[in-house]
Amino acid sequence: MEKQYKSSYILNFAGVLFVFLLFVFLFESGVFGASTEYIKGICTTACYTIIMVASLNLVVGCMGEFSLGHAGFVSVGAYTSAIVSNALTGKGLPDLALFLTALLAGGAAAGAAGILVGIPALRLRGDYLAIVTVAFAEIIRVCFCNFTITGGGKTMSGILKLSDFYWCYWIMAACVGMMYLYVRSRFGRTVKAIREDYIAASASGINVTYYKVLTFTAAAFFAGVGGGIYAHYMTAMIPTNFNFMYSAELLSEVIIGGTGSFTGSMIGAAFLSSLPEMTRQFSLYRMLAYSVILLLVMIFKPGGIFGTWEFSLTRLLKRLLKIKDKDKKPEKVKANGGA
Inter-residue contact 77 to 114 (CB < 8 Å): no
Which of 111-125, 200-214, 293-307 is predicted with the least confidence, judged by mean pLDDT?
293-307
Amino acid at 142: V
CA distance 140 to 82: 16
Inter-residue contact 167 to 99 (CB < 8 Å): yes
Instruction: Indicate the pTM of the whole model.
Output: 0.88
Does residue 20 surpass a pLDDT of 80? yes
Which of 100-104, 225-229, 261-265 is predicted with the least confidence, judged by mean pLDDT?
261-265
Residue 9 CB: number of other CB atoms within 10 A? Answer: 13
Of 249, 103, 260, the C-alpha closest to 170 is 103
| Bridge partners of residue 156, in order along the sequence | 237
Inter-residue contact 63 to 208 (CB < 8 Å): no
Does residue 312 surpass a pLDDT of 80? no
Inter-residue contact 138 to 244 (CB < 8 Å): yes
Does residue 335 surpass a pLDDT of 90? no
Higher pLDDT, 20 or 3: 20
The confidence band for 3, taking pLDDT boundaries of 50, 70 and 90, is low
pLDDT at 233: 93
Contacts of 126 (CB under 8 A, 6+ apart): 65, 66
The confidence band for 197, taking pLDDT boundaries of 50, 70 and 90, is confident
Q: What is the mean pLDDT of the chain?
A: 84
Domain ranges in the chain are 33-244
Span 26-66, pLDDT tens digits: 998 888 888 888 889 889 999 999 999 999 999 988 888 88
Does residue 330 surpass a pLDDT of 60? no
pLDDT at 274: 76
CA distance 91 to 281: 44
Q: Number of helices (H) and strands (E), helices first, in the chain?
A: 13, 0
pLDDT at 286: 65
Amino acid at 263: T
DSSP 196-245: H-HHHHHHTT--HHHHHHHHHHHHHHHHHHHHHHHHHHHS-B-GGGGSHH
The confidence band for 321, taking pLDDT boundaries of 50, 70 and 90, is confident
pLDDT at 6: 67
Which of 141-150, 159-168, 325-334 is predicted with the least confidence, judged by mean pLDDT?
325-334
